[in-house]
Chain A
Amino acid sequence: MVASTNSRISDDMFTDEVIADPYTYYGRLREEDPVHWNEQYSLWVITRYDDLVWLTRHNELFSSAVFKNDPKPPYPTIYDSDLGLYEFVREYQSRQFIQHDRPAHLDMRKVVHGYFTPRSMEEWRPMVRDAIKDLLDEAEERGSMDVMRDFATPLPLLIIAQMMGVPKQDRPYIREVAEKLLYVGRGEPWRMQNFSEGIREMIEYVTPLVEERIVNPQDDFISVLARGEREGVFSREQVISNSSLLLLAGHETTINLLCNGILSLIRNPAQWEMLREDPEGMHVKATEECLRHDSSVKSITRIAAEDVELRGQVIRKADRIRWFISSANRDPRKFPNPDDFDLTRWPNPHVAFGAGIHHCLGATLVRVEGQEAFRAFAERFNALHLDTTEELEYQPSITFRSVKEMPITWD
């Protein structure tokens, strides 16, 4: 710590080093400048656990309507010629229920909340188990597995597609479009081109499904959103935007949990053995520790709704803020030996799903999928090994912690 205080902390959050290892960079901010003004992006960067919890629970001070209320241009900068695309992106993203504050947010969340209760998500567990068994059987027959491509992507995609009531054969297309939507967290100056193309394709894909559910409601999730339109809570455009949000959010975060979790288990053989010796007893704790240790979502943004003082700094109304889950979950003030991957941590009050009124809607579904996946791996395989000598590469995103590929072998 002493050695590093003299050197200035770089404000570029998209360097190869920060993408490969966010924990060192954000950890240093957390210890040296926990409420950091990032000059390059005109952005407050918040990295301590207590601050993150306080901020998320004081939703009246920090607006979630980020796309609507951010008065500044996007960061990092985009091409001037893409500013028109950015306006299109803003309008579309602003229709998502997560981009609203109370009271509108509460009305919208109430439409969707009941679908995702812990009890109703339990009903999906048998289907999750069956899907995992099929995917692992296929991998064993093939004799190889890229965890990202062959397991972590198809599993949540299958479940969310089933939940949303979209046809089975469309899953690869949904993933293809989703990969364009993930440019929301990227830094390339041309990123609005891919992002807006993904939005257009998603609107085109979802619109007829929504129109059909308006007339002929089913027991799927698009029908839940359509009911919100009939009740006057959502406009048609909002139903479409939220359907596509749920299609994306319903699988991307789980992909990352499964990859990052299995990677942590590979790199910590003693913890893997502990899970293997008692999968039934340990699969819940293991999932929580995977969520904490290498969280799927690295950061969340807000816009200050009024002037707020935090640790002696004044965050002005309309300032933008990004808080880092991945740093908060490694805060030594909250978690002893925070960099250790330790399946016995309990309770494990990580903030992988955020907190407060915007706490992740799909948290229980993610948990069910993680629990069943980690249990199935531990029951089926004696040992897992990375099948590459290269360092794993991560997507250059400020939002998501996503490996590009993850080939493994087993015995």
Chain B
Amino acid sequence: MARKLRITVDHDVCVGNAMCETFATNTFALNEERQSEAVNPDGDPLSQILEAADNCPVSAITVADAETGEKLFP
């Protein structure tokens, strides 16, 4: 079974660039404010989620293992 992830998007920082939504379509979606939310942490393979986080132009996304707390990004 795939590991459970804890994904956060810092809304003090997120500018709604929406690149995360492009790289991990099922994981991220823009909310009413047009800021990104991790709507489904299991939405996409880990590699795609990490690519989405890496491509955030303002480093708003963190990814960690939900069970162990291990930091996966940054």
A359: chain B residues within 8 A (beta carbon): 15-17, 57-58
Does B13 lie at the interface of the complex (its beta carbon under 8 Å from any beta carbon of A)?
yes
19 A-B residue pairs with CB within 8 Å? A56-B16, A58-B34, A109-B19, A113-B19, A113-B57, A114-B55, A116-B57, A117-B55, A117-B57, A119-B54, A349-B12, A349-B13, A353-B15, A356-B15, A356-B34, A357-B18, A359-B16, A359-B17, A359-B57
Which of chain B's residues has its CB closest to A354's CB? Answer: B15
Sorted nearest first, the 10 A-B pairs with minimum C-beta distance are A57-B34, A347-B12, A355-B15, A57-B16, A359-B17, A359-B15, A118-B59, A356-B16, A357-B18, A117-B54
A165-197: contact bitstring with B at CB < 8 Å (1 yes, 0 no)? 000000000000000000000000000000000
B12: chain A residues within 8 A (beta carbon): 347, 349
Which of chain A's residues has its CB closest to B35's CB? Answer: A57
Does the CB pair A363–B58 fall under 8 Å? Answer: yes
**Given A106-B22, A347-B12, 13 other A-B contacts at CB below 8 A?**
A109-B19, A113-B19, A118-B57, A118-B58, A347-B13, A349-B13, A355-B17, A356-B16, A356-B34, A357-B17, A359-B17, A363-B58, A364-B57
A337-365: contact bitstring with B at CB < 8 Å (1 yes, 0 no)? 00000000001010001111101010110
Complex alpha-carbon distance, A15 and B22, angstroms: 44
Complex alpha-carbon distance, A256 and B65, angstroms: 42
B34: chain A residues within 8 A (beta carbon): 57-58, 356
B16: chain A residues within 8 A (beta carbon): 56-57, 355-357, 359
Which of chain B's residues has its CB closest to A348's CB? Answer: B12
A353: chain B residues within 8 A (beta carbon): 15
Which of chain A's residues has its CB closest to B73's CB? Answer: A119
Complex alpha-carbon distance, A5 and B67, angstroms: 60
A47-60: contact bitstring with B at CB < 8 Å (1 yes, 0 no)? 00000000011100
B1 CB to closest chain A CB (Å) equals 29
Q: Which residues of B does A touch, CB under 8 Å?
A: 12-13, 15-19, 22, 33-34, 54-59, 74
Which of chain B's residues has its CB closest to A56's CB? Answer: B16
Size of the A side of the interface (Cβ < 8 Å), in residues, is: 23
Complex alpha-carbon distance, A359 and B54, angstroms: 16
Does A110 lie at the interface of the complex (its beta carbon under 8 Å from any beta carbon of B)?
yes
Complex alpha-carbon distance, A25 and B16, angstroms: 29
Complex alpha-carbon distance, A349 and B34, angstroms: 15
Interface centre among B15, B19, B56 (most CB of A within 10 A): B15
Which of chain A's residues has its CB closest to B18's CB? Answer: A357
Complex alpha-carbon distance, A357 and B59, angstroms: 15
Complex alpha-carbon distance, A117 and B61, angstroms: 13
Interface centre among B12, B17, B34, B56 (most CB of A within 10 A): B17
Partner of B57, one of A56, A58, A363: A363
A56: chain B residues within 8 A (beta carbon): 16
Complex alpha-carbon distance, A19 and B21, angstroms: 40
A354: chain B residues within 8 A (beta carbon): 15
Complex alpha-carbon distance, A364 and B59, angstroms: 10
A58: chain B residues within 8 A (beta carbon): 34
B15: chain A residues within 8 A (beta carbon): 353-356, 359
Complex alpha-carbon distance, A180 and B55, angstroms: 33
A355: chain B residues within 8 A (beta carbon): 15-17
B61 CB to closest chain A CB (Å) equals 11
Interface centre among B12, B33, B57 (most CB of A within 10 A): B57
